[in-house]
Amino acid sequence: MPDSGIVKYLVKLRFEVDGVVERADVIGAIFGQTEGLFGPEMNLNELQKSWKVGRIEINLESKNDKTRGDVLIPMSTDIGTAALIAAAVESVDKVGPCSSRFILEGIEDVRASKRKQIVDRAKLIVRDWSSKSSSEGENVLKDVVESTKRARVVNYGIENLPAGPGVYTSDLVYLVEGRADVVLFLRAGIENVVALEGTSVPDSIIELGKKKRLIAVLDGDRGGDLIEKELSQVVRVEKVLRAPPGKEVEDLTPIEVLQLLRAERVEPHQQQVQPRGGRTTERERERVSEREAPAEPIVEKTREIYPSLNGTLEAVLLDEGLQEVGRFPISELVQKMESSNGARYLVFDGIITQRLVESASRVGVKGLIGHRTGEINSLPDGVRIGTFRDLGLE
């Protein structure tokens, strides 16, 4: 049989012989009774020599003085020649001395079967690719969503006070009145929050005030007045923010919460928050300075690369000499930054988050500039951040 790669058609016939015959008898009958019917070029022998007909397969079984079986003829000719050979074999009426009947069951287009195999394989390839692409896309999406995904309420202290998970990690904690306020803060993306759950200040909050900065966000009613008075007697609170008169914090929208806190975020730049001792420490002055936008010449470099970066969702790493050491999608930012060597500045088309700041600090990056900042509770020593808007680019 010729190489299956060049077979175009498989001619399939079944036969019945009135008597017991052997395979050689059937082969002899097919070659002998079709020879010369359409000229020498159409003889099966000649077609086999030119590799247009492969090895003819015969399967047979003899039973009750009859022989039944099937014939399979592989051909690499055109369909007309294949049909002509099929018809010629159907005309064979004797095998040896016995009468016979050959009936065509069909002509199979091998290329169609091969096409189906190729299509099926292609479907698997696309499915695998789609699965891999989807997985990569999901990882990117997960990384983006993680920064804004609503956290769950946790318990804090021996009183099991409702709180956000940031109460354990942030050096600044917001004090609110109840669980509904905590849920609202989490919806606004603020996780460093804990509820007082009453007018009496819990012992856990008093202890918390010894270790962390506290800002109270209270209702604009009589209850808020009482809690503010109680707090002032037992714990050091940097600032007390109040909902509009007659309104409770839980009645605000997440945007209104962020607006309420915005004044608190700006004021440390202007007033340099006083520590418990009443005087501004060197560390507090450093904290204020660190929150300012990175100084020249990175500012000029940012203005230079901003047009090619804006809207691309890409990040650029620069070395100490402000030479570009890497440009890549922000989905690969943390991985690429941690594997970089000599990166000192990061300019990217995205949001500066607490996690990103910490990752940058670990690899020696000292300046980050992006579209805007998320909830930044603390900056590592020597790290500065800024936005394109700070530089007048937006």
What pLDDT, on a 0 to 100 scale, did the predictor assign at position 2?
41
Per-residue confidence (pLDDT) for residue 378, from 0 to 100: 79
Question: 63 to each of 13, 16, 66, 92, 185, how far by Cα in Å?
Answer: 19, 11, 5, 21, 88
Q: What is the pLDDT of residue 131?
A: 64
How many other CB atoms sit within 10 Å of the CB of residue 331? 20
CA proximity to 85, closest of 74, 98, 97, 100 = 74
The answer to whether the Cα torsion of 285, 290, 295, 300 is positive or negative is: negative
CA distances from 55 to 7, 49, 109, 111 (A): 11, 11, 17, 18
Q: Of 225, 226, 221, give the one whose Cα is nearest residue 250.
A: 221
Cβ of 252: how many Cβ atoms within 10 Å? 21
pLDDT recorded at residue 141: 54
Coil vs helix vs strand at 352:
strand
What's the token pair of residue 9?
């058609």
Amino acid 394 reads E
Strands 66-75 and 154-156, by their bridges, are unpaired
Q: What is the CA radius of gyration of the chain?
A: 42
What six digits make up the tokens of 309? 């970066």
Q: What is the pLDDT of residue 387?
A: 87
Alpha-carbon 216 to chain mean position: 39
Count CB atoms within 10 A of the CB of residue 193. 29
> Is-contact 49 55, C-beta < 8 A?
no
- Run of H or E including 314: strand 314-318
Q: Tell me the C-alpha distance between 39 and 323, whole Å.
A: 81
Q: Judging by beta carbons within 10 Å of its beta carbon (0-12, 13-18, 19+), is residue 128 exposed, middle or buried?
A: exposed
Per-residue model confidence (pLDDT) at position 273 = 34
33: Cα separation from own chain's centroid: 68
In order of their start, the domains of the chain are: 9-110 (3.30.70.2690), 154-284 (3.40.1360.10), 291-387 (3.40.140.20)
- Cis before 297 (ω within 30): yes
Q: Report the pLDDT value the prediction gives residue 151, as an integer from 0 to 100.
A: 67
The phi, psi pair for 53, rounded to 5°, reads -130, 130
pLDDT tens string, the chain, 394 residues long: the values are 444 447 888 999 999 999 999 999 999 889 988 887 877 777 888 888 888 888 899 999 999 999 999 999 999 888 888 899 999 999 999 998 899 999 999 998 888 878 888 888 888 888 777 666 555 555 655 555 554 455 688 999 999 999 999 999 888 999 999 999 999 998 888 899 999 988 789 999 999 999 999 999 999 888 888 998 888 888 889 889 999 888 899 988 888 888 888 755 433 333 333 333 333 344 443 443 444 445 567 888 898 999 898 888 889 999 989 999 989 888 788 888 888 888 899 999 888 888 888 888 888 898 999 888 877 777 888 888 888 887 777 6
Residues 6+ apart with CB under 8 A from 30: 44, 56, 71, 89, 92
pLDDT on residue 288 = 38
162: preceding bond cis by omega (within 30 degrees): no
19: left (phi over 0), alpha (psi -120 to 50) or beta: left
Helices then strands, each counted (H, E), the chain: 12, 18
